[in-house]
Amino acid sequence: MSSIPDDPKTGSTDIKIRVIEVTLDDGSKEYLATNVFDTSLNADDFKELYFLRWPVESKYHELKATLNIEEFNGATSISIQQEFYINLLISNLSALIKNAADEEIERTSKPSNKYKYQANRTFIVGRVRKYFSRIVLGFDEIYTIDKIFHEACNCRSQIQPGRKNKRPRINRNRTHFRNRKVTS
């Protein structure tokens, strides 16, 4: 579908959307907006697709809240780009360690365990952040990553299947651009 041309008075463009009402397991209603107009996809399909987004949302949360990817210390464009890409590198290295630790936890877990466990993502990101620059600068050896992996295998989080309770929302008043001039 095409959008309606720009409104000369407001400078805006109207965009057609499809609003889908979804009934959650607790009986409450949620409304999803999409630009997918294929009528063969029903509300249940969109509900399933919506919940498949959880890993993506978790990664955004990691980048924004844990790595503070929107907060830069540098004042130049090159320093901001460096911080951005270093944070992505730290995030990807953390994801590799977490995946390996999750596999190890799964491999070594007893079938009689009541709960399943996974490596704690925030713990891993914190450890990688702590040691990354030390490894790059040569103060710590590369085997420090193995040490982080083994610590991650021991720092586990219980997997909460079918979680129904809302987590408390933490209100943080963040400033997104705390650029400071570098003083010599």
Q: Angle formed by the axes of helices 54-61 and 43-52, to 10°?
A: 30
- Residue 1 is predicted with a pLDDT of 45
In whole angstroms, what is the distance from residue 29 CA to residue 31 CA?
A: 7
- Residue 51 is predicted with a pLDDT of 81
In whole angstroms, what is the distance from residue 128 CA to residue 111 CA?
A: 31
Mean pLDDT to the nearest integer, 19-28: 88
pLDDT in tens, 110-164: 888 888 899 999 999 999 999 999 998 999 898 999 999 999 999 988 887 766 5
Domain ends where: 33, 57, 81? 57
The answer to whether residues 19 and 31 touch, using CB atoms and an 8 Å cutoff, is yes
* Average pLDDT taken over every residue of the chain: 84
Q: Does residue 31 sit in the same domain as residue 89?
A: no
Q: Does residue 47 sit in the same domain as residue 79?
A: no
Whether the pLDDT of residue 4 is over 70: the answer is no
- Residue 15 is predicted with a pLDDT of 84
5 domain-assigned: yes
Please give the structure tokens belonging to residue 21: 């009402």
- Residue 171 is predicted with a pLDDT of 59
182 domain-assigned: no
pLDDT in tens, 40-57: 998 889 888 888 888 888
Please give the structure tokens belonging to residue 139: 């103060």
Q: Does residue 42 sit in the same domain as residue 91?
A: no
The answer to whether residues 142 and 135 touch, using CB atoms and an 8 Å cutoff, is yes
Whether the pLDDT of residue 184 is over 50: the answer is no
Burial profile 75-95: b = 16 or more Cβ within 10 angstroms, e = fewer: eeeeeeeebbeebeebbebbb
Q: Does residue 77 sit in the same domain as residue 148?
A: yes
Around Cβ 44, how many Cβ atoms within 10 Å? 11
169 domain-assigned: no
Of the candidates 117, 122, 90, the residue with the CA atom closest to the CA atom of residue 105: 117
180 domain-assigned: no
pLDDT in tens, 103-117: 999 999 888 888 889
Kindly report which listed range (41-45, 65-69, 78-82, 162-166) carries the lowest average pLDDT score.
162-166
Q: Does residue 91 sit in the same domain as residue 127?
A: yes
Residue 100 belongs to domain spanning: 73-158
Q: Does residue 109 sit in the same domain as residue 85?
A: yes
Q: Does residue 10 sit in the same domain as residue 34?
A: yes
101 domain-assigned: yes
Q: Does residue 86 sit in the same domain as residue 11?
A: no
Q: Does residue 29 sit in the same domain as residue 88?
A: no
177 domain-assigned: no
Mean pLDDT to the nearest integer, 174-181: 52
Count of domains forming the chain: 2
166 domain-assigned: no
Mean pLDDT to the nearest integer, 23-27: 84
Q: Does residue 97 sit in the same domain as residue 27?
A: no
Q: Does residue 51 sit in the same domain as residue 101?
A: no
Compute and round to an integer the Cα radius of gyration of the chain. 22
In whole angstroms, what is the distance from residue 36 CA to residue 123 CA?
A: 38
